[in-house]
Structure 1
Amino acid sequence: MITTLPERIAALPPADRARCERLFFVQRTEGRAVIPAAMESWVTASFGAIDRVRHQTIVRVVNRFTLEGTLFNPLRALRPAGAMVSDEELHAWIAAELNHLDFFAQPLDATSADVFGRIRGRFCISASNIAKYDGWHGLVIFDEPHPLRFDRDQFADYLDVALRWLETAHRHDPQAIYPMITWNCLPRSGATIAHGHMQMSLAREMHYTRPELWRRAALQYGSVERYFADLVMTHASLGLLLADTPDGQMFVHLTPLRNREVIALLSLPSVSSLPALAERLTALIYPTLRAMIDRQGVRAFNVGIALPPLTDATGAWNRMPVIARLADRGPALSVRNDWGAMELFATGCVTVDPFEVATTLRRTG
Structure 2
Amino acid sequence: MNKIIQKTIIGLIFIILIVFGVTQIRRHKNDEKYRNCNKNEVARIKKIEDISQFLDSGDCMGENMEILHLIYDIKITSSYLRIPSSMTEKVSSWLNGNSNLIKEVNHQKVIEVRNKFTNEATNFNPIRAKRPNVQVSDQKPFLESLIEKSLDNCDFCSPENNTAEEIWGRIRTSTSISAANLFRMVGPYNGIIISNKHSILDLGLEDYWDMFRCANLWFQKISSENRTLTHGMLLWDMFPRAGASQIHTHLQIFIDENFIGQHLTNYLASQTYREAHDRDYWKDIIDLHCKLGLGLKVGSVYAITLLNSHKDNEILIIGDQVNEDFIHLLFTIIQIYQRNLGLYCLSMGMSWPLINSTTKYSALLRIGTRGDCSSQFNDISSVELYSFYNINTDPFRVIRLLRNHIFGDF
- TM-score, structure 1 normalization: 0.90
Distance 1:38 1:54 in 2: 15
- What is the match of residue 37 of structure 2? none
Shift of 1:284: 3.5
Distance 2:296 2:200 in 1: 25
Residues 148-187 of structure 1 show CA distances to partners (whole Å, capped at 9, x for unaligned) of 2211111100000011111112223333332101111111
- Give the alignment partner of residue 283 of structure 2, picking from 197, 221, 229: 229
Distance 1:192 1:240 in 2: 33
Compute the RMSD of aligned alpha carbons.
2.0
The range that moved more, 278-287 or 59-68, is: 278-287
- Segments of structure 1 that go 5 or more residues without pairing to the other structure are 269-276
Secondary structure of the 1:296 match is coil
For the Cα contact (< 8 Å) 1:241–1:251, is it kept in 2? yes
For the Cα contact (< 8 Å) 2:139–2:374, is it kept in 1? no
| Structure-2 change in CA distance of 1:339 and 1:30 (3 Å) | same
Distance 1:243 1:309 in 2: 22
- What is the match of residue 33 of structure 2? none
For the Cα contact (< 8 Å) 2:354–2:360, is it kept in 1? no
Alignment of 1:104-143 (within 5 A): 104-135=156-187, 136-143=189-196
Alignment of 1:191-230 (within 5 A): 191-204=244-257, 206-222=258-274, 226-230=280-284
Shift of 1:311: 4.6
Return the letter of the residue paired with 2:181: N
For the Cα contact (< 8 Å) 2:223–2:356, is it kept in 1? no
Which has the larger Rg? 2
Distance 2:131 2:290 in 1: 32
Are positions 1:59 and 2:100 aligned together?
A: no
For the Cα contact (< 8 Å) 2:289–2:304, is it kept in 1? yes
Are positions 1:22 and 2:51 aligned together?
A: no
Shift of 1:280: 4.6
Distance 2:376 2:219 in 1: 35
For the Cα contact (< 8 Å) 1:242–1:361, is it kept in 2? no
Secondary structure of the 2:183 match is coil
Distance 1:86 1:320 in 2: 38
Alignment of 1:327-338 (within 5 A): 327-338=368-379
* Matched residue count: 350
Are positions 1:350 and 2:404 aligned together?
A: no
How many percent identity over aligned positions? 24
Shift of 1:328: 0.9
Residues 276-332 of structure 1 show CA distances to partners (whole Å, capped at 9, x for unaligned) of x353531342222222222222201112220244255xx7xx332111111111111
Distance 1:98 1:8 in 2: 52
Distance 2:161 2:328 in 1: 34
Secondary structure of the 2:185 match is coil
- Segments of structure 2 that go 5 or more residues without pairing to the other structure are 1-46
Distance 2:225 2:245 in 1: 28
Return the letter of the residue paired with 1:320: Y
- TM-score, structure 2 normalization: 0.80
Alignment of 1:1-365 (within 5 A): 1-9=47-55, 10-47=58-95, 48=97, 49=99, 50-81=102-133, 84-99=137-152, 101-135=153-187, 136-204=189-257, 206-222=258-274, 226-245=280-299, 247-268=300-321, 277-312=322-357, 318-365=359-406
Shift of 1:89: 2.3
Distance 1:338 1:59 in 2: 20
For the Cα contact (< 8 Å) 2:138–2:342, is it kept in 1? no
